[in-house]
Amino acid sequence: MAKALYIDYQKCTGCRLCELVCAVKHDGISNPTRSRIKVMKWEAEGLYIPMSCQQCQDAPCLNVCPVKAISRDEELGRVVVDYDVCIGCRSCVAVCPFGAMNFNVIDKKVIKCDLCDGDPQCVRFCDVNALEFVSPDEISIGKKRDAAGRLSKAGREAGVLLAEL
């Protein structure tokens, strides 16, 4: 099974290094508007949420594309745009439920995460592991373990409370 980009936004420090390295890796240019990943922020609450393509199984961008320029690459588990076919109509930008399909106004073309052909630079540079590149089943196992830990702790605390009654 191809690996997937997993974003744990709790861990994000909001530094936006992912945006920088994404743009430099793909275009050799520093400019966050060129980045495929983007950190959305609510500074007044200290909330930082990285948004990127989810590489959907039933991808709305793929379905809506009038010239069939978008396809699934099963090997790398990603949805890719064929720029030789793309007409730049931005239907995919409009339909993406995550806003993860971007339109680059400088080069006038749509851009999206391509997982850096299997070595995502955002993951490589994210020292706090807010971004990870993992097998999709590992994601749920990890979350299950966390949730189970919380449940068992809650269970113990409830037990103590009961015993005190």
Q: Which residues bind other proteins (CB under 8 A)?
A: 10-17, 20-21, 24-25, 28-34, 43-46, 48, 105-106, 121, 124-125, 127-128
CB of 126 to other proteins, least distance (A): 8
Work out whether the CA dihedral 19, 21, 25, 29 comes out positive or negative.
positive
User: How far does the chain reach from its first CA to its final CA, in angstroms?
Assistant: 51
Q: How far is CA 139 from CA 10, 47, 49, 135, in A?
A: 15, 22, 18, 7
Closer of 21 and 61 to other proteins (Cβ): 21
Closer of 128 and 151 to other proteins (Cβ): 128
Q: How far apart are CA 85 and CA 37, in angstroms?
A: 24
CB of 104 to other proteins, least distance (A): 10
CB of 70 to other proteins, least distance (A): 25
Closer of 33 and 71 to other proteins (Cβ): 33
Closer of 47 and 87 to other proteins (Cβ): 47
Closer of 79 and 122 to other proteins (Cβ): 122
The helix/strand/coil state of 136 is: helix
CB of 26 to other proteins, least distance (A): 10
Paired tokens of 13:
């420090």
Q: How far apart are CA 107 and CA 161, in angstroms?
A: 63
CB of 131 to other proteins, least distance (A): 12
Cβ atoms < 10 Å from Cβ of 68: 10
Paired tokens of 24:
């430099």
